[in-house]
A and B are shown apart, each in its own frame.
Chain A
Amino acid sequence: MTKTARASENLLAMNEALILGSLRQHELTDAADALNVQLQREITQRKQLETTLRESEQRYRVLFELGPLAVYSCDVAGNIQNFNRRSAELWGREPVLGDIDERFCGSFKLFRPDGSFLPHEQCPMAEVLSGKIPEARDVEALIERPDGSRIFVVANIRPLKNQRGEITGAINCFYDITERKEAEQRQQLLTDELAHRSKNLLAVIQAVASRSLSGTRSLAEAREVLSQRIHALARSQSALAAEGFRGAQVAEIIRLEFEGFSGRVTASGPDVILHPRLAQTFTLVIHELATNASKYGALSLADGAVVIVWSIEGEHGAARFRFQWQECGGPPVVPPTRQGFGRILLERAAAQDFGTSPNINFAPEGLVYEIDAPLSAVEVAGGGIRAKSGNGKVNRVAGIVK
């Protein structure tokens, strides 16, 4: 072959190679382009997923933080992984994440509802993590905070599991039910109190009935006397109800007794709230004095009158309650000879319940009945509204001043 022919062949071969190479390059470029488009699509998809995930996570995070529920989670070993603001509020503290001495619960101390101590290692979270219980549903517990205060909570715990069904951790949602518990306790106290008062009142009626029906009265007269005394007791209940049963106002007891009466009785004195125990006795005493006054005393005559005055003398521990019933304008006073229930009420009942014997003076001008007792023995704690010095607001019992 000549040199020229060989050179020509070489040129042709190189040309072919170039063309093939160029074709190949186009293929590769096309392939690269296609891959590029695919990649772009995948990247966009991935970015969208990430955005969706981030938004979703953000939503849950906001829910987690702002929700009224306290939420926290632990890993299978019991290490607290995260907790929301509400948990920290209820615990009264923030546990140190990853601290192995602070496992299962972020509270300072835990107690069972009956008050017995519950170590963190035995709490419901620990039991769910160990598989001892499958879950905790509406479990009650007492959380003690670092400042010593305690709150009642209800907890719900669910385990977290991996694809093989093994427990990897757990989430606890709990909330404060202290107010509900306190309401339940108040309710129980009220019920107990109510039962106590009813039985007590019946015991008093039993005593009054027994004494009113014994003695030398005719049955008809006894029945009338008993009926009147029971009504007096009913009035003492009204006076007690007016103060929410914590006690009864002296003024109210007197006002109720004389509601049916027409004038000639004046009464005045400061706010004094008698202890419920004394309220009943005092009502019966006032009723007895009023009944006697209308039968034999000042109120049995048109010109007769009764003046009732009470006051508080002295201050604080030395304060005394002074009460006086004074009759005038009635028939000449004759001391009673009979030691009936009425006299037992006026003398012994008052003496025992007020702590000091009353002074009964059968003065010829009119009966005088006086009580002088320490205020602390007579009035409920918290008592009536009075100015610091003096007697403050004075009650003039309305409707019976003439």
Chain B
Amino acid sequence: MIFAGRRVLVVEDEFLVSLTTIEFLECAGCEVVGPATTVAMAMQFVETEFLDAAVLDINISGDTIWPVAEALRRKGVPCLFLSAYSPLSEIPELFKVAPRLEKPLEQKSLLCHLSAIWGAECEPVSP
């Protein structure tokens, strides 16, 4: 199975919201790293942990996630962005093409994007 044992970093500053993401990932068989609630915490995970992917909330405790995304990009770790609402104009050019999901998170949508990231076929998500 594409998800089994995959290590996914979750960065989310709101506990209750992170529960959903973690639940979806663990249900699918992934191993969750985190959740990191601050940029500093996230950077630490990026340095020390082996990661297959990362699910990043765009706004973290008043900061934006871009430095973490940049660090992950340099390490070749694919990112998926999560936000309640982020106008396209606020996303750096480099990350405009990365997959972006809206809150509340949909399980099918999350897993489909991760499959695509890890190179497997994914069932079409119903609109």
CB interface residues, B 15-32, toward A, < 8 Å: 15-20, 23
CB–CB A277/B13 < 8 A? yes
The one of B14, B23, B35, B104 in contact with A277, judged by C-beta atoms closer than 8 angstroms, is: B14
CB–CB B104/A199 < 8 A? yes
> CA–CA, A199 to B100, complex, Å?
14
- A318 is an interface residue with CB less than 8 A from chain B: no
- Please indicate the chain B residues that have their CB under 8 angstroms from the CB of A190 in the complex: none
> CA–CA, A198 to B102, complex, Å?
12
- B74 is an interface residue with CB less than 8 A from chain A: no
Q: How many residues belonging to B are interface residues under a CB distance threshold of 8 Å?
A: 18
- Please indicate the chain A residues that have their CB under 8 angstroms from the CB of B104 in the complex: 199, 202-203, 205-206
Instruction: Using known A-B contacts A196-B84, A277-B14, determine if residue A207 contacts B19 with beta carbons closer than 8 Å.
Output: yes
> CA–CA, A74 to B108, complex, Å?
66
The one of B15, B84, B105 in contact with A348, judged by C-beta atoms closer than 8 angstroms, is: B15
Number of A-B contacts (CB under 8 A): 59
Instruction: Using known A-B contacts A210-B23, A352-B37, determine if residue A199 contacts B103 with beta carbons closer than 8 Å.
Output: yes
CB interface residues, A 251-295, toward B, < 8 Å: 277, 280-281, 284
**Min CB distance, B1 to chain A, in Å?**
22
- Please indicate the chain A residues that have their CB under 8 angstroms from the CB of B17 in the complex: 200, 203-204, 207
**Min CB distance, B101 to chain A, in Å?**
11
- Please indicate the chain B residues that have their CB under 8 angstroms from the CB of A284 in the complex: 16
- B87 is an interface residue with CB less than 8 A from chain A: yes
**Min CB distance, B123 to chain A, in Å?**
22
CB interface residues, B 24-57, toward A, < 8 Å: 35, 37
- Please indicate the chain A residues that have their CB under 8 angstroms from the CB of B85 in the complex: 192, 195-196, 199
- A109 is an interface residue with CB less than 8 A from chain B: no
> CA–CA, A344 to B14, complex, Å?
14
**Min CB distance, B116 to chain A, in Å?**
23
> CA–CA, A206 to B23, complex, Å?
12
- Please indicate the chain A residues that have their CB under 8 angstroms from the CB of B87 in the complex: 192
Interface band, chain A: 20 to 34
CB–CB B16/A349 < 8 A? yes
CB–CB B15/A349 < 8 A? yes
- A208 is an interface residue with CB less than 8 A from chain B: yes
CB interface residues, A 321-350, toward B, < 8 Å: 344, 348-349
**Min CB distance, A270 to chain B, in Å?**
24
> CA–CA, A196 to B103, complex, Å?
9
> CA–CA, A206 to B17, complex, Å?
8
The one of B15, B20, B23, B102 in contact with A281, judged by C-beta atoms closer than 8 angstroms, is: B15
**Min CB distance, B26 to chain A, in Å?**
13
Q: Which partner residue on chain B sits nearest A280 by CB separation?
A: B16
CB–CB B20/A353 < 8 A? no
CB–CB A199/B16 < 8 A? no
- Please indicate the chain B residues that have their CB under 8 angstroms from the CB of A349 in the complex: 15-16
> CA–CA, A349 to B20, complex, Å?
13
**Min CB distance, A384 to chain B, in Å?**
19
- Please indicate the chain B residues that have their CB under 8 angstroms from the CB of A206 in the complex: 20, 104-105
Q: Which partner residue on chain A sits nearest B103 by CB separation?
A: A203
- Please indicate the chain B residues that have their CB under 8 angstroms from the CB of A145 in the complex: none
13 residue pairs bridging A and B, Cβ less than 8 Å apart = A192-B87, A196-B84, A196-B85, A198-B84, A202-B104, A203-B14, A203-B84, A203-B103, A203-B104, A203-B105, A207-B17, A210-B20, A277-B13
| Chain A contact residues, CB within 8 Å of chain B | 192, 195-200, 202-208, 210-211, 277, 280-281, 284, 344, 348-349, 352-353
